[in-house]
Structure 1
Amino acid sequence: MKGFQFTKFTPSEDGNTPFDKLMDLFMELLTYTNGDVSEALQWMTQLDQQYQLTSQEYGLGDFIDDLKDRGYITEDQSSGTIKITPKTEQSIRKRSLEEIFGKLKKTKSGDHRTFRPGQGDEINPETRPYQFGDTLEQIDFTNSIRNAQINHGIESFQMREDDLSIRETDFKSQTSTVLMIDISHSMILYGEDRITPAKKVAMALSELITTKYPKDTLDIVVFGNDAWPVAIKDLPYLEVGPYHTNTVAGLELAMDLLRRRRNPNKQIFMITDGKPTCLKQGKRYYKNSFGLDRKITNRCINLAAQCKKLKIPITTFMIASDPYLQRFVQEFTETNNGKAFFASLDRLGAFIFRDFENGKRKTVY
């Protein structure tokens, strides 16, 4: 009888294939290049020349071929342009989710559970006797027929009201969310790249909501001089424009979108560097980039108070470390009784969490 022959196994440095190693870098660069494949590959070529990322067995040409074969990029034969596919867009969002919130598994139900029974869509294992007002869909016919057989016998089978058994369903709450993203020029001012971590947080939140809570609704709003909605698939392509920061326009659009949603639970996530600098008055823009203008900030504070009255909490992700900007976000969040995460640019995964509703403060990693 032949036995097993064992040979020495020499794993790679981190267990990943050459494609996986280059793919991690490619995904990271796509976030910085706003989804520009050509620019990302040019950066990879320069990095390869400096750090020898590839080998003679597997070069960048092989990596590009694998990207095409696996459906991550597509090339227009007529123009020669290369673009990422929806598969890559989703991979970027998943990567951001894992980087910031850790690995979360997708659930079949994906909802916010409560401890109250009611008219929901998850069957409760317990039953109760019929009560006036119960609907036909709530009747557990198997248990009801069994009760009728026990109470009246098989020979004279009949079903009465006392035989009916009701199986309730658990009530599950749903939430409508608006995600606001600041794309003003201040997000790249003074050489600080704030838009890249902002996009990472936005993609992580959108992936978290769509995978963990697929029955929720999610609207995405970007705001500069004005505010307008964008699709989830467009998040990797967001770029900063020559805009001021009209936080008021973003909040007004967010509130308008939430008014159209029928869910009783509503919330706003806002990713910004915290400095509103613009208002639109009729057809004229009122602008002031020199510090915090009370005419502008008061409008923001008033909208925060309105959201509080409408029971719309605002969670702010502050992508900046300026003390005077943090003081404004603190006042804004305290007025709304919302929550705030203060993030530094070099520690994207760590946030200083402030919950003004419960008076809590902690560091979240």
Structure 2
Amino acid sequence: MGGFRYGRYEDGPDPLRPPYDVRAALDELGRSVMAGSSPTRALRDLLRRGTRGLAGLDDLLRRVRERGRQLRSRGRLDGVLAQARRLLDQAVGQERAVLFPDPGDDARLRERELDELPSDPAAAIRRLADYRWRSPDARETFERLRDLLRREVLDAQFRGMKQALAGGTPADLRRVRAMLDALHAMLDADDRGEHTQADFDRFLAEFGDFFPENPRDLDELVDLLARRSAALQRLLDSLTPEQRAELLELSRQAMREAGLDSAVQRLGERLRARRPDLVWSGGVDVSGEAELGLGDATTAVAELADLAELEEALGQGYAGARLDDVDAEAVRRVLGRSAAEDLERLRELERELRDQGYLSGSRNRLELTPKAVRRLGEAALRDVLSASGGRPGAHEARATGAAGEPTGTSRPWRFGDEQPLDVVRTLSNAARRGADRDGRLRLRPEDFEVTETEQRDAAAVCLLVDLSYSMVQRDLWGAAKQTAMALHALVSTRFPQDAVQIVGFNDHARVLAPRELAELSLKPVQGTNLHHALLLAGRHLDRHPEFEPVVLVVTDGEPTAHLEDDGLPYFSYPPARRTTELTLAEVDRMTRRGARLTVFSLADDPRLEEFVTALVSRNGGRTVRPDPDRLGSYVVRDLLSRRSRR
């Protein structure tokens, strides 16, 4: 029997992660649009916030900042200097312990030589390079010091080199020199335009253990090395001038002893020339108790540089910002595979919103498609109906006709019928007639039958929505837009034979298509021009004289504007007498059309109360004072009750 091994799934995205819901994301985006955001801003907010089962950019940004705080408190950048001083003092101490009991002159001369060692570790190490140690332990400690410096300096240039040189043998150093020579040869060939991917593959096959990042090509390798070289320079800039001078001298001395000084120096110059866009200067604020080796300190500074770039890209606070600006590989490198998957899923979500036909336009000027607007209307209707605790009913008559629910019966199809075909009975008619000579069943016109549906009377529905600035100030804007979208969706889906018109009014009125309504933005416009809104509603009713007139008015203030004879709006507060007279004149015309107005009054205002009382007394309509949070349910229920009574 074979055993089982459990571990983290590494072969691509986690197949067991819950999928994101594009429609749910669209509903969230729609709520932002309904609250007054543009589609572009709403999408940006959605991507920042995330959606159900999917972390957003803000969460990734929070993790980036938390990682940055951890790195900045990780330890001291001058740790290698402290380690070097400690090993140097240990070697000198071990040597003195052997010299002290010896009464000879040679011992005294050696002690004097040790006493005169420079305080600078680099100079002291250089002075002791030719010293003949009497103590085997001191000699071993000094060699550990030199090996440490070689490995740390190389690890600062090439991540993972410290592990690769753990043996510290001459053969290891010869292999490092061979790697540098091969790397320079590749760069030379690339400068001449002669480098090939096969050359790189051979290089990586031979020296891949020096590069744990496993770069895919020369460009990626150059980018890795250049970032590390830039991080090393920024580490040096973070030290005091004395520490920087000591560390530079220790590094040069270690590279000279290894025979790598010229190759490493030349590589640094070439990397800087190839990636001048990187940040090559400027210190970083890193502090802590732990003593970081030079390689670990360089890794910390490099990661902080990646975090700074990621923070800017994830913030998306600059003009023309896009998700594609975020480096997925840097996210994976810094935050792990799951974070990179979250980023890719956000990109997929943005693509799916376009590919599934919900968004169109450029990245900086998105628009909702008709499909998205229908979805927003349906969502608004669902919210409204759930708030009302009911569901829409129907309005029936005894005769059968072209609209309504199926009655369960069918009749022969007649030219011009729009009812759905009764497929089962149509095919049954053909089957009873029998197959043709060739054995095939063929349909004839007389075989077709259509499903009979309940007859419903048509209505001309006008919703007049106050969009004045007072609606914004009273936080009624979103409720008014949701109500209009829900009503339009209700009529379009449940009563398709009805004719619905949405009219928004502030200083003037205008007919709003569903997309215009959804994308309507907040504007500080004064004026409540109900006069103009009633004019537009009257024209809609006149275009459908045979339809039942339904006029619904949503407002939070008395009329303060009217339309002059020249077509320009006139505003006055307190309201001018002519504004009231013209508005009530249009109310009288509505009355003569047989339209009874329902006014949804959203403010506790004595002047509004006085005007609405005068309006309903002249028209025979009624006033409703709803809870603003449930405005949509009041409007929808009012329409349904009217249609049911009809």
TM band (smaller chain):
0.5 to 0.7
Match of 1:181 in 2: 465
1:304 aligns with 2:307: no
Q: How far, CA to CA, are the matches of 2:538 and 2:514 in structure 1?
A: 19
CA contact (8 A) 2:396 2:455 kept: yes
1:28 aligns with 2:310: no
Code of the aligned partner of 1:63: L
Match of 1:157 in 2: none
Q: How far, CA to CA, are the matches of 1:300 and 1:281 in structure 2?
A: 12
Q: Deviations over 1:208-259 (max 9, x none)?
A: 1111100111223232333332323322022354352211111122112211
Structure whose alpha-carbon radius of gyration is higher: 2
1:266 offset after TM fit, Å? 1.3
1:25 offset after TM fit, Å? 2.3
Match of 1:70 in 2: 356
1:26 offset after TM fit, Å? 1.7
Q: Deviations over 1:253-291 (max 9, x none)?
A: 21122112132411212232232101233236442223x
Q: Deviations over 1:31-56 (max 9, x none)?
A: 1235x222113333554566789984
1:19 offset after TM fit, Å? 4.8
Q: Deviations over 1:13-35 (max 9, x none)?
A: xx99465654442221121235x
1:315 offset after TM fit, Å? 2.3
Q: How far, CA to CA, are the matches of 1:175 and 1:75 in structure 2?
A: 36
CA contact (8 A) 2:483 2:632 kept: no
Q: Which is worse superposed, 63-72 or 247-256? A: 63-72
1:198 offset after TM fit, Å? 0.9
Q: Deviations over 1:133-189 (max 9, x none)?
A: xxxx9xxxxxxxxxxxxxxxxxxxxxxxxxxxxxx997642111222222333332x
Give the aligned CA root-mean-square deviation in angstroms.
4.1
CA contact (8 A) 1:198 1:272 kept: no
1:289 aligns with 2:292: no
Code of the aligned partner of 1:239: S
Aligned residues: 292
The 3 A distance-change label for structure 1 pair 179 and 16 is farther
Match of residue 230, structure 1, among 503, 512, 519: 512
Match of 2:499 in 1: 217
- SS of the residue corresponding to residue 114 of structure 1 reads coil
Match of residue 97, structure 1, among 381, 395, 412: 381
The 3 A distance-change label for structure 1 pair 293 and 51 is farther
CA contact (8 A) 2:480 2:631 kept: no
Code of the aligned partner of 1:225: D
Code of the aligned partner of 1:41: L
Q: Deviations over 1:283-322 (max 9, x none)?
A: 36442223x5544234333432332232112223334444
Question: Which sections of structure 1, spanning at least 5 residues, go unmatched?
Answer: 1-14, 127-136, 138-167, 359-365
Q: How far, CA to CA, are the matches of 1:124 and 1:38 in structure 2?
A: 46
Alignment of 1:207-286 (within 5 A): 207-241=489-523, 242-283=525-566, 285-286=569-570
CA contact (8 A) 1:339 1:353 kept: no
Match of 1:141 in 2: none
Q: TM-score, normalised by structure 1?
A: 0.65
Match of 1:40 in 2: 42
Q: How far, CA to CA, are the matches of 1:335 and 1:314 in structure 2?
A: 10
CA contact (8 A) 1:120 1:171 kept: yes
1:316 aligns with 2:599: yes
The 3 A distance-change label for structure 1 pair 354 and 33 is closer
Match of 2:168 in 1: none
CA contact (8 A) 1:194 1:320 kept: no
Match of 2:366 in 1: 82
1:196 offset after TM fit, Å? 1.9
Q: How far, CA to CA, are the matches of 2:582 and 2:391 in structure 1?
A: 40
Code of the aligned partner of 2:359: I
The 3 A distance-change label for structure 1 pair 63 and 343 is farther
The structure carrying a bigger strand percent of its residues is: 1
- SS of the residue corresponding to residue 544 of structure 2 reads coil
Q: How far, CA to CA, are the matches of 2:630 and 2:511 in structure 1?
A: 29
CA contact (8 A) 2:36 2:478 kept: no
Match of 1:165 in 2: none
The structure carrying a bigger helix percent of its residues is: 2
Match of residue 347, structure 2, among 61, 65, 82: 61
The 3 A distance-change label for structure 1 pair 200 and 254 is same
Code of the aligned partner of 2:41: E
The 3 A distance-change label for structure 1 pair 282 and 68 is closer
Code of the aligned partner of 1:38: T
The 3 A distance-change label for structure 1 pair 337 and 353 is farther
- SS of the residue corresponding to residue 475 of structure 2 reads coil
Q: Which is worse superposed, 55-64 or 234-243? A: 55-64
The percent identity for this pair of structures is 25
CA contact (8 A) 2:479 2:632 kept: no
Question: Which sections of structure 2, spanning at least 5 residues, go unmatched?
Answer: 1-17, 50-55, 63-337, 410-416, 418-451, 642-646
